[in-house]
Amino acid sequence: MQVIATIDEMTRFSENLRTRGQTIAFVPTMGYLHAGHLALMAEGKKKAENLVVSIFVNPAQFGPSEDFSTYPRAMEQDLEQCRNIGADAVFTPVSTDIYPKGFQTYVELEKLPHHLCGLSRPVFFKGVATVVTKLFNIVKPNLAVFGEKDYQQLAIIRQLVTDLNFDIEIVGVPIVREPDGLAKSSRNKYLSQQERPHALLLNRCLDTAQKMVEQGETDARKIVDMATGILLSCPDIRVDYVCVCDPVTLDGVDSVRKKALMALAVWLGKTRLIDNRMLVLPDRAK
């Protein structure tokens, strides 16, 4: 496995593979890898002959009061995990190469960021769209793999690739959960022992919502109220949003027809947690 720090070397590595007719799967990450990332890498390996992973904590996607400086980092462990899963190259650029002095071009979408996480993290998706565009241009993959845990991010990347004519297939991978149901996230590391059990309430809301839908409840308001009630039963939780929305546009819906995305974000102490699930109406009700 090659560890590549410079942009030129990364592009040469990919161009060399592509001139030989080989395919490249790309998994962009911010490191501190966990089983969720490994699932993305495994999917990438299944779908292409070569796997490139990037590890870059992207400053442009953190707001001034967010956790950029404290975001967990574990480069040596991460490289070991990439090696074990059989990555061919890991791209580890430095910030000053990605955003050199004088950098001024950003990628912004007009609609999708104005929902869900974008409302409380106003710079987040501009930073994500910009870095992913740059990484796509540098790594030149045939396909790129993203987790459904960051559902809005995945929707934004799909739209970006369509709008900007990238010839890259975007592959989504289902959320990987801890045995007790908590969605895997690098930020779970921030949770104290006391907070950890409360984090299960997110998945409980989503499960209960699906059960309500299976029992015939289609009123989005009632589903949101149920979830808000569960979350607010914990005094340590502050709700950012609970939403039932269209899976493509992310616009809120009044009722669940066939399927709708339920997404939520909360603050548990100082940790922001997100989770989501597709609510699917049983066949008889569609």
Residues identified as active-site = 37
Cα diameter, the chain:
59
Q: How far is the CB of 120 from ligand PAF (least distance, A)?
A: 16
CA-based R_g, the chain, Å: 19
# chain residues binding ligand PAF, by CB under 6 A: 10
DSSP structure string for 65-111: TSSTTTS---HHHHHHHHHHHT-SEEE---HHHHS-TT-------SS
The stretch near ligand PAF (CB under 6 A) out of 25-33, 110-118, 219-227, 231-239 is 25-33
The bridge status of strand 259-268 relative to strand 169-173 is unpaired
Non-local (6+) Cβ contacts of 142 within 8 A are: 23, 24, 25, 48, 168, 169
**Residue choice 32, 36, 53, 58 for contact with ligand PAF (CB under 6 A):** 58
Per rule CB under 6 A, is residue 28 in the interface with ligand PAF? Answer: yes
Give the contact letters, 130-159, x = binds to ligand PAF (CB under 6 A), - = no: -xx-----------------x--x------
Quote the tokens at residue 64: 């001034």
223 binds ligand PAF (CB under 6 A): no
68 backbone dihedrals φ, ψ, rounded to 5°: -55, -50
91-130 footprint of ligand PAF as x/- string (CB under 6 A): -------------------------------------x--
Binding site for ligand PAF (CB under 6 A): 28-30, 58, 61, 128, 131-132, 150, 153
